[in-house]
Amino acid sequence: MNWMNAVEDIVQRYSGNAAGAAAAPAEAHEDFRKVAQTAPKEVVADGISEAFRSNQTPPFPEMLGNLFGHFDPNQRAGLLNQLLHSVGSGAAALPGLGGLGGLLQGGSVTPQQASQVSSDQVQQIAAHAEHRSPSIVDEVSAFCAQHPDVMKAAGGLAASIALQHMLKRR
């Protein structure tokens, strides 16, 4: 049985083939969670990437800054390391990062260090990373696909957009 068969009821709701209307945003979170548990991670990542890039959702840096506050310390460190790798050595000189210059130079950010970084600072790093390397959206989406429960913080619309894109990949 493939992953689409496992979520056939959700497929029917989002494809418009069911008698009922499309899922409400409250259901979109649960539907996203169900599909993310069964779908291949690359399909989940593609859906998340679509939500990050959608003109119906806030800009990628803003969404990521919001999500950052919902990650656990290890996930925060992993996300920061991914962003900083994309930004390169210029991270310490980014405006608005205050005293984080030393923290962001060299080596990997630890979970303890990541706890010192605010969501606003992540938003600034993400904006710079996206400008420097647009593929960071896909890289972060793959990271988020490994932790799909945190996507609830992105909102019902983002979950719906991600789901619709994922379910098109039959």
**Biggest CA pair distance of the chain:** 58
Domain ranges of the chain: 3-167
pLDDT of 86-133, one tens digit each? 877 666 666 666 556 566 566 688 999 899 899 999 999 999 899 989
b/e map of 32-66 (b: 16 or more CB within 10 Å)?
beebbebbeeebbbbbbbbbbbbeebbebbebbbb
pLDDT of 27-86, one tens digit each? 888 888 888 888 899 999 999 999 999 999 999 999 999 999 999 999 999 999 999 888
pTM of the model: 0.83
What is the distance between the terminal CA atoms of the chain, rounded to a whole angstrom?
A: 13
